A = this chain, B = another copy of it.
Amino acid sequence: MVKAADRAKNPARSSVWLEKRATRSGGGPAGLDRDRIVAASIRMLDEEGLAKLSMRKLATELGVTAMSLYWYVDTKDDIIEFAMDSVYGEFDLAAIDAARDWQDRIRVLAREYRAMLVRHTWMSPSAGQYLNIGPNAIAVAYKIQQAISDTGLSLDRQPGAMSAVFQFVYGYGTIESQFGRRAAEAGMSQDEFYVDSVKAFRDDPEFSPQIEGMQEILDERASHGSVGAIWDRDFDHALDVLIAGIEVMVAREAEGARRQK
């Protein structure tokens, strides 16, 4: 088994996914196995958040001491890597394949990605820190890459288009899920939390000159309805922008090719 310290020295091996591991299930005296550990950690991460997960608490939840976990993983980071890939497995790949055209396929993928980030608030801070090359993450990346390929864009424009869409979704999902997490931690609904935040922001005399200019955006948003509805609307509008932008790039490339003749 490759130890964490060894992996740190060899970055090519810096992910749990790059070693073969036996995956016996529940054979031991405590009935422990990696799947049970990962499932329990996802449950705890969802309920208590990334900061609250500790090896000792996770072990207690599993009726075992912290040190037992080290038989199945090398470090705490490994557990989070396994948990992340397990969550990537929640993507509904069939729904993605059922999409009519690339526009629709990108929308479905974006919506699933966003929903996943919001459902598991610990995913976005974690996703930034690890390589994400587990089998389920790769499967999703492949679907994304295919959808972008289907646009007909040239190979050198595809990565940019892919980034535009899916780094946007990552950023949006991060802000949305962290907002939800903060509201939940404060014991408030998102609507209550939003009203409170805007009020506090508005009351501070230090920023009033600039707030004037931002006031109408805040008012427009407030008039639109619940915070949840605003998140949905703005996300859809952003996807409209991104898809229209890709369509323009595709058309420009077609135009360029015609002129070449």
Contacts and interface: CB of A to CB of B under 8 A. Distances in A.
Interface string A12-56: 111101100000000000000000000000000000000000000
A162 B188 CA distance: 27
Dominant secondary structure of chain A at its interface with chain B:
helix
B233 A241 contact: no
A172 B163 contact: yes
Q: Copies per complex?
A: 2
Contact of A199 (B12, B213, B224): B12
Nearest to A251: B244
Nearest to A171: B167
A57 interface: no
A243 interface: yes
A153 to B, nearest CB: 9
Task: Output the residue of A168, A178, A210, A240 with the most chain B CB within 10 A.
Answer: A168
Nearest to A216: B155
* Interface size classification for chain A: 35 or more
A207 B248 contact: no
A142 interface: yes
A124 B242 CA distance: 23
A67 interface: no
A75 interface: no
Contact of A210 (B12, B142, B233): B142
A178 B129 contact: yes
Nearest to A220: B155
Interface in A177-228: 178, 182-183, 185-186, 188, 193, 196-197, 199-201, 204, 206-207, 210, 213-214, 216-217, 220-221, 224
A197 B242 contact: no
A63 interface: no
Nearest to A159: B234
A12 B196 contact: yes
Contact of A131 (B161, B197, B245): B197
Contacts of A169: 171
B196 A11 contact: yes
A237 interface: yes
A95 interface: no
30 contacts: A11-B196, A12-B199, A14-B182, A125-B125, A128-B128, A128-B174, A129-B178, A135-B206, A141-B214, A142-B210, A142-B213, A155-B217, A156-B220, A157-B237, A158-B217, A159-B217, A159-B234, A160-B234, A160-B241, A161-B237, A161-B241, A163-B238, A164-B237, A167-B168, A167-B170, A167-B172, A240-B249, A241-B248, A242-B242, A245-B248
